[in-house]
A = this chain, B = another copy of it.
Amino acid sequence: MSEKKYKAAVITMSDKGYRGERSDTSGPAIMQILKEKGMEVVEYFLIPDEFEVITYHLKKLCDEEVCDLIITTGGTGCAKRDVTPEATKSVIEKEIPGIAEAIRYKSLQITPKAMLGRGVAGICNNTMIINLPGSEKAVRESMEVFIDVVPHALDTLKGKAEDCGRE
């Protein structure tokens, strides 16, 4: 287990949330779980489903080393405005496909619609980015799948642990 208290940012992508037409329960759910897991939440944004806005915030957080982990919620579906995975892929240098696969595989036991979730995960500089679906229920189910391997992944990324695959 990691000794360091890692810093996390949470970004909710939601046109309706941004316009004040829907209250965001997914972002707060992620923040609560992160705190329960001993992480410090340093930023929270609610932004519209705009490619440029998403990449701007992701890049800024990573370039300025504001946090070690960014978890996003929303914008991973099949709607025209869902561009979170494309924005994330344009920012990361390395993809971690197994995190998204594991989330979908787990969710597929609950609903076949889980195969439509297009979220990705990856690394930009020293920060790990993970896309989650938009619903609070899906967020809670997804967090369970990967949250306990995040400290190890960050230890490895920061050079504090051996390569993920070598222990």
Contact = CB atoms under 8 A, between A and B. Distances in A.
B94 A86 contact: yes
A166 B98 contact: no
A78 interface: yes
A156 B123 contact: no
A100 B162 CA distance: 21
Contact of A152 (B116, B133, B166): B116
Contact of A115 (B94, B108, B116, B149): B149
A94 B49 CA distance: 15
A2 to B, nearest CB: 13
30 contacts: A75-B163, A77-B156, A77-B163, A77-B165, A78-B94, A78-B157, A78-B164, A82-B163, A82-B164, A85-B94, A86-B93, A96-B116, A96-B118, A97-B97, A97-B100, A97-B101, A97-B118, A98-B104, A98-B115, A98-B116, A98-B118, A102-B112, A105-B105, A113-B164, A115-B149, A116-B165, A117-B165, A134-B163, A134-B166, A135-B165
Given A75-B163, A98-B108, A133-B166, 11 more contacts: A76-B164, A78-B163, A85-B94, A97-B100, A97-B104, A98-B117, A116-B149, A116-B156, A134-B163, A135-B165, A135-B166
